[in-house]
Each structure stands twice: as C-alpha cells, then as structure tokens.
Chain A
C-alpha cells in the first residue's frame, strides 16, 4: 500500500477508536495525532470535566504502548518523576525508574507542581533521555508526553515557564461541547456498557511513519511563508502587525517554525497529498504558536488571547511575499 493510503488508514482507524470514547473534539483528536506522528508533545488546556485526561487515556489504550500517569501536586519532587537510585540490601545502588520511563506519559495538571519539578520534564521531553547521578538513561521510543492544565483555579499553581512551554509541540484548547455532543456523552457514559478503545497501532509502526512523514517535500515559498509567520510574532520587527508590536513581549522561537512545518507535513498526508501547502501551514499555526507567544502586561490587562494575535498575523501576512509576475 502506498504511504499516504497506509497513513490515512492508520490515522482513520486511530481516530475512530478514540472517537468511541471521546465525543466531539474531532479537530482536537486530529491535532493530537498530528503531534504524535510528528514526535512532539501536547499541552491540553481546558476546564475541569471536559475529558482531557480521558482523551489521553483513550489514546494510550488505542496504541500498543506503555502508559503512565503522573498527577502533579505542589509537593511532587523531580525524583518522583524521573526515578532515583535506591540502596539494595547488599549496599549497592540500583536505579529505580520513575513514571517518565513510559511511552505515553500523562502529566495531569502540570501547573500544580513547582517549577523545579516541572523542569524535570525538560530533558526528557527534548532529548528523550534522563540523567541521574551522571548516568544518561534513554527513554523508549516513541516517547509522548501529554500534559493537561486548568486555566482557572490558578491559586496555588505555578504557570509553566517559557522554556517548558516551548517544548510542547502543540497547545490544544478544549472548548465546551455542544448540545448534541452532551447528549452523546450521556448515552455513552451512563449506559451499562462503557465503550473502550482497541489497540490499533504499535510503537514500531509509529516510528516508521514518523520517519516517512519527514520525507514529504516542502517547497521554498511554503517554507518562507512559515518563517514569515513566525517572524511576524516578534514585536521588535517593524514588519510585524501592529497588534503584535503593541501586545506581545516575546515571539515564537525556532521550535515554532519546526512545529509548523512538521505539523503541516502530517496534515498534508492526512489530506492525501505528498506536498505541503499554505493551507496546511495555516491549519497548524494556532496550535503551534499560541503557547510560544508571550503577551506583555498591556496584552494581559486587555484580556487578549494569543489566538486573536495569531488570527491577525494570518490575516496580515500574505502567502507570497511578492506577486510572482505582475501583469
């Protein structure tokens, strides 16, 4: 079977399995899978009870991968995540791996832990390894972290530092489900038979697909468009939209443009194309950039959302810098 058909088939089967448990959120599920095949991590943000944790658990069920859940609390220590050396009866030290040593890690309510503990994830997320007592321990591939956070109940929480945020491939926002979805949720969760996702994909296949996805070609104008979008998030540049110059403190990092391109490649394959288009870039712009744009005090005070700024950027930055041929 051809790459794109195979990929589309896998993708559809995964989506169907997750949709058995999760009602609605088709776009969120698609974006979660895009991040999974791109090799990135997800930060899910939504109000309590919207099914963030359930979504991650369902994904873990649909994938034949090891899964662990870490409930972040203020007293959680880094060693609780990455593991520690324990002394054996024969007075030798033995490494006891922490929950990070799973393939799918659910970091629930990540903003409740202290920055010190949050930072324990940094190396694991970026390098896919942890260093304990000078010894580097590789994590098993595929390694996928899905963190959740609650935008309310901010008391006693520690907002994620920019460096930590930047390591998430996508930040996805879960909105409130509609009327039909709510009825569907009632039907599925209050009946005697609770639906359960079946395993449709193993880790090895995911790794193969991750490599194949990277071979999707991206033309220069599309790359340039992605770069111009990222540059437009920087307030210090005169070419940036006025809204960015006024309300943004820091723009997106180079990881932002990597995220745009990789995400767009997966999106192109999902759509059955072997090439990335401008529309793919636009599709992944918000989840890729929304957590990489840091608002300034004025922006915060105005209650602005980074999505509004990205909308403005998408509107103002043209796909082509210049008209290819003027008549």
Chain B
C-alpha cells in the first residue's frame, strides 16, 4: 500500500515540476526580453537562438530541483483537504501497527477516489507580478526617452553604421583586388583609412574610386572577366552610394542655410538676436548632443556643422573657428559684423557678444577634433544587411541636419528645436517679455 502511495506522490511531483518549469520559463523569458528591447532601441541584433537559453535553464531548474516526498505529501493533503492523512501515512509508513496500516489503506482509497488533477493547480510565483512589469516599463521608458529627450540617437547610430558600411565595402573591394592589383588595393586601403580617420571628404573618396575604376578598365591585368565585372559593379555601387550621400548632404546644407538666414533676419527684426544667436539655446540639451557627437573621432555625419563652433574643448581660450566653417553658420556670424572666414578675432567677437549660464560647460564638452572638420552637409548612408557576398544594400537617410552638434545651428524644423527656442515660440508670457528684453539689453551693456 505504501507503494501505491508513493506512486501518487510521484505523479504529483511530476506535475509540480511542470508548473515549476512554466514558472521558470516565463520568468526567464521576461529577463531575456530585456536585451532584445535594448537591442531594438540601440541597434544591435540578438540571435533567436538566444531564446533557447531560458528554455534550457527552466528545464534544468525544474528537473534538477529536489522535491522531497514530505513536501509533496503536504501539498496533496492541503489541496485535497485530506486532513494530513498523506503526510502521516508517509511518516509512519514503516510501522506495523494496526492504526498505521488502516490509515495508509484509507488514504490510498481516498486518493483513488479523488481527482488528483486538483493537486497543485497552475499557479504563478508572486515575484512574477513585479518581474513582468520590467519589460513594458523599460520599453516605454526607452521609447519616451528617445522620442522626447533624445530623438536623434538612433539616427546617429545609423549614420555611424552607414560610414562603417562604406568603409566595409571598400575593404571588400580591396580584398578582391589584393591578389590581382596590389597597387590599387593599397590605394583603396589608404582611402578607407583616411575616410575612417576623417582626413578626406566623401567627394575626395569618390574621385579616388573613379580613378581606380578607370585604372581597372584601362588595365585589366591578370583578372578574368567575371572578377573584373564583379569589382567594377561593386565600385559602381559604392560610388553611387557616396554620390547620393553627397547630394543629400548638399540639399540639407542648403536647407539649413535658408533657415538660418530666415532665423537671423527674424532675430534682427525683433531685436533679440544680439550676436550669432548661439547663446540662446538651452544649455542642457545642447550639451547632451555635444557630448555624444563631438567627442567621437569617427563621427562622420554632422561634422560639417561642428566647424562653426566658436569656443570649444581644449581650444577654449582661443575660441577659434579653426577651419572654414559652413556657410550657414558663417552667415550668422557675419550678420554680427564678422567675416565668413572667421579668425581668432572673429570668434572672440562672438564670445564677447554675451554668454548665458552653462555655455562654457557646453562648449567644453564638444570634441576639439570634430569641430575642426568641415564636411559639406553631405547626405548620410545607412547600410542594409548584405545577404550574400557582394550584395550590399544601402539606404539613404536624411539625418545630417538633425544630428548637427553646432551651437549656432538653426534647425527649426524639428519639434525639439522649437522647444529650445522659447522666445521665438512666444512661450514667454507677454507681461514678462519687456522685463526679459531689458535684462538682455542690460547684459549687452555690460
């Protein structure tokens, strides 16, 4: 009879393990979803094989966890309201007394007549309630963050990936050429490195690629036809991408300049724009952008906008605009009596034009390397995922202007920019406008 009792206990133990497995699986899947959510927002992909980990772990935990007979007996007693018959039978099962034998017999009969399925119904552990909140909270927090506080982050990432994609394409070309045309491979390597280090612009890179194409056409060397055609096709693809990027950036640049001119004229007419206008940006948001974008040496996009920054990073004292700035920003400066090609004096003039709290800090955060770059507002590239060798898919994203880290940038097209210009948006109540105006005029006088 004790054997039959053990059989019931084994059955229930199996069910407990199943419920345990489901609980572990659910909990681990919730934990696993966190990296996927992060990947979704921060642009890294996780293999779906990764989902096997919670399955395997849950299975191991539920199989290898020890479940004593006594615990199972207590559960049966509790769930079937057997008044502790099972646990007592189990504990005293080895005794030979009449009472114990009767008790065990009676318990087994009861168990046979009762529905064993009622034992240990599917239940979820208490902490799942709290754990289950994590993924939605994380998802919505990140969504909120990206949409409200830092909407350009993804674009930035994509731009970074685009540049990396072009570099990779060139690298692959270089690898194809290395045996057939070592001198061209070397040129490609140099081009890739220089583009990576921002020493040359996209236009220059494009011209190099054109030259390489010509050379391949002119002197096929030992390459067979298919290889040559293949390389040529790849070169054309890369050039096409770079062309699109350049034209896109040009368009953006023109648009920015137009907006900048419009903004400056507005300011001048309202008497609020005292200098280049850079100081009127709220400090916090700008510093966020600057610290993210200005610091990265390999940042390829938006660099054309750094060139107009007047006083930044390690070069704070001089406050130069060291290289030829983009037209848009220079125009702004010239409105205040500065020249398009700004020198130390010019930048100092901008500095003298007035400083709002936090400006120095903001400027310190800008990378000194990136501010010297002068890209021409070229379109940016986002690489697709190559499915097979040689199949490189790129898509163009017009994000150049959005990620501009320049202090003097006038990008009123985005909602964030609008919130950054409270005066323009007339968010300052009319009764305070005069007071604020007086305040700025007094500052100007000082």
Contact = CB atoms under 8 A, between A and B. Distances in A.
Given A215-B97, A216-B99, A325-B16, A273 B71 contact: no
Contacts of A275: 83-85, 88-89, 103
Nearest to B65: A325
A3 B67 contact: no
Nearest to A269: B99
A178 interface: no
Interface string B63-86: 000010011101100100001110
A300 B414 CA distance: 75
B83 A273 contact: yes
A277 B85 CA distance: 8
A222 interface: yes
Interface string B205-222: 000000000000000000
A274 B102 contact: yes
A94 interface: no
Interface in B123-143: 123-125
Interface residues of A, number: 22
B74 A320 contact: yes
Contacts of B97: 215
B67 A325 contact: yes
Contact of B103 (A221, A274, A278, A327): A274
Nearest to A216: B99
B41 interface: no
B20 interface: yes
Contacts of A220: 70, 87, 91
Interface in A201-240: 215-222
Contacts of B99: 3, 215-217, 274
Nearest to B123: A327
Contacts of B75: 324-325
Contact of B88 (A215, A219, A279): A219
A23 to B, nearest CB: 31
Contact of A325 (B71, B103, B106): B71
A93 to B, nearest CB: 49
A276 interface: yes
A2, A216, A218, A221 — most chain B CB neighbours (10 Å): A221
Contact of A324 (B71, B89, B92, B98): B71
B19 interface: yes
B100 interface: yes
Contacts of B70: 220, 324
Contacts of A91: none
B24 to A, nearest CB: 9
B72, B83, B125 — most chain A CB neighbours (10 Å): B83
B364 interface: no
A326 interface: yes
Contacts of B100: 217, 274
Given A325-B67, A327-B123, A327-B125, A217 B87 contact: no
Interface string A54-92: 000000000000000000000000000000000000000
A277 to B, nearest CB: 4
A109 to B, nearest CB: 40
B288 interface: no
Q: What's the interface size class on B, roughly?
A: 20 to 34
A219 B85 CA distance: 9
B23 interface: yes
Contact of A327 (B71, B74, B89, B124): B124
A299 to B, nearest CB: 33
Interface in A133-162: none
Contacts of B106: 274
Nearest to B22: A327
A277 B78 CA distance: 11
Given A3-B99, A216-B99, A327 B84 contact: no
A261 to B, nearest CB: 13
A278 B91 contact: no
Contacts of B89: 275
B72, B74, B88, B95 — most chain A CB neighbours (10 Å): B88
B71 A217 contact: no
A124 to B, nearest CB: 32
Contacts of A3: 98-99
Interface in B292-325: none
B91 to A, nearest CB: 5
Contacts of B67: 325
A279 B83 contact: yes
B170 to A, nearest CB: 56
A273 B71 CA distance: 21
A277 B83 contact: yes
Contacts of A222: 84, 88
Nearest to A212: B99
B96 to A, nearest CB: 12
A215 to B, nearest CB: 6
A273 B81 CA distance: 13
Nearest to B66: A325
A274 B99 CA distance: 6
Interface of B: 16, 19-20, 23, 67, 70-72, 74-75, 78, 83-85, 87-89, 91-92, 95, 97-100, 102-103, 106, 120, 123-125
Which 5 residue pairs across A and B have the least CB separation, nearest first? A324-B71, A277-B83, A275-B88, A274-B103, A219-B88
Interface of A: 2-3, 215-222, 273-279, 320, 324-327
Given A217-B99, A219-B92, A275-B83, 5 more contacts: A3-B98, A3-B99, A219-B88, A220-B91, A327-B20
27 contacts: A3-B99, A217-B88, A217-B95, A217-B100, A217-B103, A218-B88, A219-B91, A220-B91, A221-B74, A221-B87, A273-B83, A274-B100, A274-B103, A275-B85, A275-B88, A275-B89, A277-B84, A278-B84, A324-B70, A324-B74, A324-B75, A325-B16, A325-B20, A325-B72, A326-B125, A327-B19, A327-B124
